[in-house]
Amino acid sequence: MGRQASRQIQKLVNKGGKFESDGDLESLQSACHDAQFAWCVTDCSKARNLSALFRAVVKAVDYPQFFGGQFDELYDCLRDSVDEQKSGLVLLFYRLHSADPGLEADIEELDAVLQDVVAHATDRGKVFIYGFEEVGRHPDDVPGQVRNWSDASD
């Protein structure tokens, strides 16, 4: 790991913020483990709309209830999740299909809400780090072929 990358990771661990997908994830995970941050991965591989994405977040942070489909409620969920942590929380959006029609228009607002959670964590003396592994768009549906949640392929 280069010196510049090391400084960027240390800055994230100290202040929180957005982890860029081209960064050194293994080094970030090690630094966050050392800082005793909770490490949560939101599996977005099947999420084709905002409601499914929010359900994936609820599962990742082990929130006690599904909160619906509003960004204010997502903020409350993540705020409570950060508050429950000793020092910080990392939330990675794994395989986010950000170019899907059901998600594309909401990614900017999602990012804004996550930035608000960073600010909340900072106000509480804690750290919130988030990142997206964006993978474009789900393949189009094929007429006559049913895709189930249990399908192994995307």
Tell me the pTM.
Answer: 0.84
Domain ranges within the chain, ordered by starting residue? 36-134
Q: Residue 154: exposed, middle, or buried by beta-carbon count in 10 A (0-12, 13-18, 19+)?
A: exposed
Q: Quick check: 151 pLDDT over 60? A: no
Nearest to 50 by CA among 131, 121, 108: 108
What CATH code is assigned to 36-134? 3.30.370.10
- Section 8-18 average pLDDT: 93
Nearest to 118 by CA among 132, 134, 130: 130
Q: Please tell me the distance from the alpha carbon of residue 57 to that of residue 44, in angstroms, as a whole number.
A: 9
pLDDT at 8: 87
Ramachandran class of 144: left when φ > 0, alpha when ψ lies in -120 to 50, beta otherwise: left
pLDDT at 154: 44
Q: Quick check: 25 pLDDT over 50? A: yes
pLDDT at 147: 61
For residues 83 and 125, the answer to whether their CB atoms sit within 8 Å is: no
Query: pLDDT digit string (tens) for 55-95?
Result: 999 999 999 877 777 899 999 999 999 999 999 999 999 98
